[in-house]
Amino acid sequence: MELLSNYFRELRSAALDGWDRFWFTPAPAHTLGLVRILAGAMMFYTHLVWTLDLDAFFGSQSWLDHAAVAALQADSSAWSPLWLCEPRVVLPAVHLTALIVFACLSLGIWTKTSSILSFVLVVSYAHRAPLAMFGLDQINALLALYLAIGPAGDALSLDHWRARHWSVVEPQAPPSVGANISIRLIQLHLCVIYLFAGLSKLQGPAWWNGSALWYAFANLEYQSLDMTWTAHHPWLINLMSHTVLVWEISYVALVWPRLTRPLVLAMAVPLHMGIALCLGMSTFGLVMLIANVAFVDPALIASMVRWRQSEPRQIRMARVPAPHSRPTTQVRIRR
């Protein structure tokens, strides 16, 4: 009994220590900063597209008026402040403000404020036009939420650059628990998405017999690159279908170990680029790759980006001729 008690005591201690290390180990903000740059740019682009026909989607005479959206969302508490911006003059001004906020997020200007506003705006647009909301908007929303939680402007941002160039003392952005928590939330959310995407595919016989991707390639609605030539190579369709299925289900287990993580992330590139190029969902494929950046080591990002560090201001001592018989005086000259 004593051995059993010691085992469970050690197991409990190891589990709690692991939990603390996973969530509360301070981490550099470089990974979070790169995700912010890419995600902010994607939010800017995807909302910029609304400008092509803003009134049709969000105006007072839009395809989805207030009554239609209220009926669709009758069983939810979804609400959008864009309902208050329907007048022809107000709506473009609010939309322009939203684009400026997304640009500020990507560039890292007033990052904490712009990240919170970006999340509110992404959700507001999605709630105002629910029939135009797809996976892209959902990934934008989750990235905006987790960027708002952590110190997304501590690295690779104009906020940090401005602090370095205008401060007498060289500012440092030490590893922080907040950066680690934000990255962990993105990572776990991504694992859940892939796991349930893979498990849901198991409900369809096309994924079991390996013909699933053919139905996607043969669908003219999604066909941006002609892949019908694969009909002459059924083995290739079977291989790709089963590879996608195995990759999605195993992602949650294989993306964490240090040795298998590069392989898993490398597989994400052809998979999502294939979605982008072959199925006409370029923005969705790209935003999923942006989310996968959360698994890249911050030290690797820092070495790849090579963010230009300004030369530290040096303080030197110079002798100034002293008047009359006073002793030599030392003054500090900033160079």
In tens, the pLDDT along 133-170 reads 888 999 999 999 999 999 999 888 888 888 777 654 54
Q: Is residue 294 part of a domain?
A: yes
pLDDT of residue 77: 75
Q: Is residue 287 part of a domain?
A: yes
What sign for the dihedral angle of Cα 224, 292, 189, 101? negative
Please indicate, yes or no, whether residues 72 and 36 belong to a single structural domain of this protein: yes
The separation between CA 73 and the C-alpha centre of its own chain, rounded to angstroms, equals: 27
Please indicate, yes or no, whether residues 213 and 138 belong to a single structural domain of this protein: no
Other beta carbons within 10 angstroms of residue 59's beta carbon come to 17
Q: Is residue 311 part of a domain?
A: no
In tens, the pLDDT along 55-64 reads 888 887 788 8
Please indicate, yes or no, whether residues 160 and 33 belong to a single structural domain of this protein: yes
Q: Is residue 176 part of a domain?
A: no
Pairing of strands 329-334, 315-320: antiparallel
Q: Is residue 177 part of a domain?
A: no
Please indicate, yes or no, whether residues 51 and 158 belong to a single structural domain of this protein: yes
Tokens of 209: 């017999």
Please indicate, yes or no, whether residues 86 and 140 belong to a single structural domain of this protein: yes
Q: Whole-angstrom Cα distance, residue 137 to residue 115?
A: 16
Res 312 pLDDT > 60: no
In tens, the pLDDT along 192-240 reads 999 999 999 999 899 999 999 999 888 888 778 888 899 999 999 999 9
Q: Is residue 126 part of a domain?
A: yes
Q: Whole-angstrom Cα distance, residue 64 to residue 66?
A: 7
Burial 109-132 (b: 16+ CB within 10 A, else e): bbbeebbbbbbbbbbbbbbbbbee
Please indicate, yes or no, whether residues 35 and 95 belong to a single structural domain of this protein: yes
Q: Whole-angstrom Cα distance, residue 99 to residue 97?
A: 5
Q: Which domain does 283 fall in, by range?
A: 186-306
Q: Is residue 48 part of a domain?
A: yes
Total number of domains constituting the chain: 2
User: How sure is the predictor about 120, in pLDDT bands with cuts at 50, 70 and 90?
Assistant: very high
Q: Is residue 18 part of a domain?
A: no
To 5 degrees, how large is the angle CA 316–CA 317–CA 323?
A: 150
